[in-house]
Amino acid sequence: MKKIVLFLFVAVIILTGCSKFKQQTGNRYIITSPEIAEIIYLLQGARNIVGVTIECDYPAELKELEKVGNFGKVDFEKIISLDPTIVFTSGLEQELLTTELEKLQIPTAQFYPKSIDDMISSIREIGKLIGAEKRANFVADSLETEIEKIATNNVDNSHTVYVEIYNTPIMSVSDRSFVGEVIQKAGGNNIFAELPRDYSRVKAEDVINANPEIIILTCPPEVTAESIKIRKGWEVISAVKNDRIYTALDINPDLIIRATPRVIEGMKILQKIFKDEK
């Protein structure tokens, strides 16, 4: 019996020792924010990414990677076992996550871009962190020119737009939010430009009063244009009368919600909508 116990004891020690040797050298990134995941993938592919959250779904290759949890809740044991050199986190619910990771002495880098400028400078910073500075600067510079181009292409911000980001209760965005800035830079005139918060609950009567010409839904595809049209009292809104409600089927919400370079694609689609092009 004693021999068996001794054998097991030695075996355990050897095995734990082995697992140390198993660790790879080089950079090992865990990314909990889908936005940062897109940016890092764009800068140097998935080769150094060892873990992501389930929301990191673009590009599709990221879905194959090890999952450490979701945006709101991660598995700390999993993170520790993946032995990351940096964990990239975001804001909102992840403020707390970042402090908790720091308590565990895991190196973190937090990026929560709240505007297009913010996003561009985040790309430069991330580039520096992961050793892809040149590519990051190239991406950032070309983003700046693209956005400049879109801005000069705008005729005016004449079309009034209502953006619905959530439907029960109905919520919209102010111009200070990322989505709000995207709408504004793409040539739309947000009816809720001046909300007290970036993302906020709004009143149905204010939407009807503002009478937007265009409605953009960034809700999941189950929220159809039809579900807006049948709302009591909404039939007088110009966008409803003229059938100008754009859903996830017309414009992928990720293209305008996420602060990533794909926003250029989103802005181009929006610009077409605002310029009444088909």
Partner 1 sequence: MKNKIIPILLFIVSLILIYLYLNYQAESLHIILQIRLPRLMLAFLVGFVLSGVGYSFQIMLNNPLAEPYILGISSGAAFGSIVANVMGFYLFMPLFGFAGALITLTIVWFLAHLGGFFNSTKLLLSGIIVGMFFGALISLLMYFNQQDIGNIINVLMGNLGHIFSRKEWYYFLVVFGISILLMLYLFLLSRQLMILTTGDVIAGSLGIDVKKLRRKIFIISSLLTGITVAYAGIIGFIGLIVPHIVRMVSGGNKQTGIIYSSIFGAILLILCDLIAMHIAVIEIPVGIITALLGCPFFLFIMAKSI
Residues 258 and 196: their CA atoms lie apart, in Å, by 21
CA atoms within 13 A on the CB side of 256: 30
**Comparison of 138 and 234: residue with beta carbon closer to partner 1:** 234
**Comparison of 61 and 235: residue with beta carbon closer to partner 1:** 235
**Comparison of 70 and 157: residue with beta carbon closer to partner 1:** 70
Per DSSP, the residues of 44-57 read HTTTTEEEE-TT--
Rounded to a whole number of angstroms, the minimum distance from the CB of residue 6 to partner 1 is 45
Rounded to a whole number of angstroms, the minimum distance from the CB of residue 161 to partner 1 is 19
**Comparison of 208 and 225: residue with beta carbon closer to partner 1:** 208
Cα–Cα separations (whole angstroms), residue 129 to 43, 88, 98, 108, 222: 11, 11, 17, 11, 39
Contacts of 273 (CB under 8 A, 6+ apart): 214, 216, 246, 250, 251
Binding residues (CB under 8 A) for partner 1: these are: 70-73, 166-171, 195-197, 200-205, 208-209, 220, 222-223, 227, 230-233, 235-236
Residues 247 and 226: their CA atoms lie apart, in Å, by 10
Q: Are 33 and 90 in contact (CB under 8 A)?
A: yes
**Comparison of 76 and 166: residue with beta carbon closer to partner 1:** 166
Rounded to a whole number of angstroms, the minimum distance from the CB of residue 228 to partner 1 is 10
Rounded to a whole number of angstroms, the minimum distance from the CB of residue 204 to partner 1 is 5
Rounded to a whole number of angstroms, the minimum distance from the CB of residue 233 to partner 1 is 3
